């Protein structure tokens, strides 16, 4: 299992609707709107690095309103499934 966190910058006109669009992407297990330098955080869980590349470059990056992405690939996960997210 490959897990990654994708930090997303969005066009202001898409802030109200992009979160749902991110959450609906196959391979995205969760999407959050956040305060700070990025507008959204998407958690991606897939079977391989090749699938991760497809999710980020062909599914997420092509969504209308995406103006920037930064992908952080997880080396290890700590905690139980319930503890991983807020």
Residue 85 lies in a domain: no
Do the domain assignments include residue 86? no
The pLDDT of residue 86 is 45
Instruction: Please say whether the beta carbons of 23 and 83 come within 8 A.
Output: no
> pLDDT for 52-74, tens place per residue?
999 999 999 999 999 999 999 99
pTM: 0.89
In a domain, 39, yes or no: yes
Residue 46, domain member (yes or no): yes
- Taking the C-alpha atoms of residue 54 and residue 28, their distance in angstroms, rounded to an integer, is 12
Taking only the tens place, the pLDDT of each residue in 4-28 is: 999 999 999 999 999 999 999 999 9
Domain that holds residue 65: 2-69
In a domain, 30, yes or no: yes
Q: Both tokens of residue 54? A: 């497809």
CATH number of the domain that 36 lies in?
Answer: 3.30.70.920
């Amino acid at each position: 299992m490959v897990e990654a966190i994708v930090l997303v910058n969005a066009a202001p006109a898409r802030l109200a609707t992009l979160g749902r669009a991110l959450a609906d992407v196959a391979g995205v297990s969760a999407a959050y709107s956040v305060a700070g330098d990025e507008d959204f955080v998407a958690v991606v869980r897939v079977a391989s690095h090749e699938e991760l590349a497809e999710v980020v470059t062909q599914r997420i990056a092509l969504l209308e309103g995406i103006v920037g992405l930064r992908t952080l690939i997880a080396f290890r996960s700590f905690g139980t499934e319930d503890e991983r997210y807020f």
